Structure 1
């Protein structure tokens, strides 16, 4: 009587000790999940055909359904193989890039990287958008050890009273422990987070993580909406572009709600800056918050200085 095959992805067969052949270690035969499913489908097909003996119409129907399921399994297997091949190629490229970095950068500057392994003393704390097209190190040329970077949706800085988040945790560490000298908030063109902010209904409760996060930028939205209300010829994209810049300045003001940031800015030990990267035409706009100029203004108002255009 035939023994049932164990339900696992490998089957071990051992050689007989009474054989004249020399003994060998057990041999493992790999069986893929798709092979097991194909075998199960075939057995089910045979059972159906046996059950419908004498009824040709039902036999034909069972045959067609079985063939359809078999083809579906084959198609799914082919898709899985293609996805795995694509992932393999992606990581091969990633491996190549890493080894190139190690050869051309790390080993060529070994002493520098060994010093970085002991301590970091970055001059900049950068808050940038998580958008894949906006990489501060690539755009601004930051090298390892030069900038402590945190990225989030729409490069927003929540006010102090909002409570803990990964962004203000990074701020606390960079300002109080690393003692960075500059905080740079970098916004950009075509920001999906700002577009979500401008599109959402203000008083509507939402379970969306994105909407609940970008709600931090609501003051910037209100300022932008008020400022663009008189310009009726501005379309939605232009309104979003306006809000992209206003939200940067709102984040600069939010930075000053943190007592340990405001104190260092007031004492001249820390400066806060805004930056706007337009990746459509590759230009960069940089400015600094004028702390003294913003001191006497009402909430939501600010004064900037040292504005520059890099193009």
Structure 2
């Protein structure tokens, strides 16, 4: 049985949490009302049209990291981008079966008919650090949800280890952050309905890397024909740009 001192301590913690939560939601309320006044009511026709239909040109797959909000760093307005976020911005291959990420892909590509898919990675990614830290043998029956998810990036990890074994751990993680983006771009082509639209010139696939330490952004585009012709399964890219 809990002592009265422990019970009192727990009660105090719960009260403090309640107070903090109330203050946090008060701030969210103020932000919402500010949004309504300064954006929604100033562009009410646009927002009302969005209530009837959406036709985004982009699908963005980004990391769940709180420091990496694609709508903020790339300036997307409501209706411009269909966004899904997960740990380490990974795209599982078609053979892995259903996930919330490929469900979003199916809707964005087949129903919304987006013209671009952009996979955005970033610096100091905790998901990639976890991937690089785990033992090479990660079993699907692991009790860790994180391990079972980041194994999607195992190919990128192996390529990084092979190419950058002479680098320290942090440098390897940085290289894997970019390598995993290219791995996800190739995984996108494992979905027949994505490859078909890319092949027919209806859809483009892009990678992006946001470095929030110095606020720079790299962007590149998957070269479908070049990637398809590579026997080693590597990613051929073009149209690389560096924004700073």
Distance 1:138 1:197 in 2: 27
Distance 2:138 2:224 in 1: 35
Shift of 1:278: 0.5
Aligned pair partner of 1:180 in 114, 117, 121: 114
Distance 2:220 2:132 in 1: 24
Matches within 5 A, 1:169-208: 169-205=103-139, 206-208=142-144
Three-state SS of the structure 2 residue aligned to 1:99 is helix
CA deviations on 1:131-176 (whole Å, 9 max, x unpaired) are 1101000110111000000000000000111111110000000000
Does residue 294 of structure 1 match 2:227? Answer: yes
Shift of 1:72: 4.2
Three-state SS of the structure 1 residue aligned to 2:173 is helix
Distance 1:134 1:279 in 2: 8
Partner of 1:32: none
Aligned pair partner of 2:184 in 229, 247, 251: 251
CA RMSD in angstroms, aligned pairs only? 1.3
Any unmatched runs of 5+ in structure 2? none
Any unmatched runs of 5+ in structure 1? 1-67
Shift of 1:303: 1.0
CA deviations on 1:30-85 (whole Å, 9 max, x unpaired) are xxxxxxxxxxxxxxxxxxxxxxxxxxxxxxxxxxxxxx944444443333222211
Q: Higher relative CO (CA 8 A, sep ≥ 6), structure 1 or 2?
A: 2
Distance 2:113 2:93 in 1: 20
Partner of 2:46: 112
Equivalent pair of 2:138/2:147 in contact (CA under 8 Å):
no
Matches within 5 A, 1:273-292: 273-292=206-225
Matches within 5 A, 1:1-311: 69-205=3-139, 206-229=142-165, 232=166, 234-311=167-244
Distance 1:144 1:118 in 2: 13
Distance 1:299 1:150 in 2: 29
Distance 1:162 1:183 in 2: 20
Shift of 1:307: 0.4
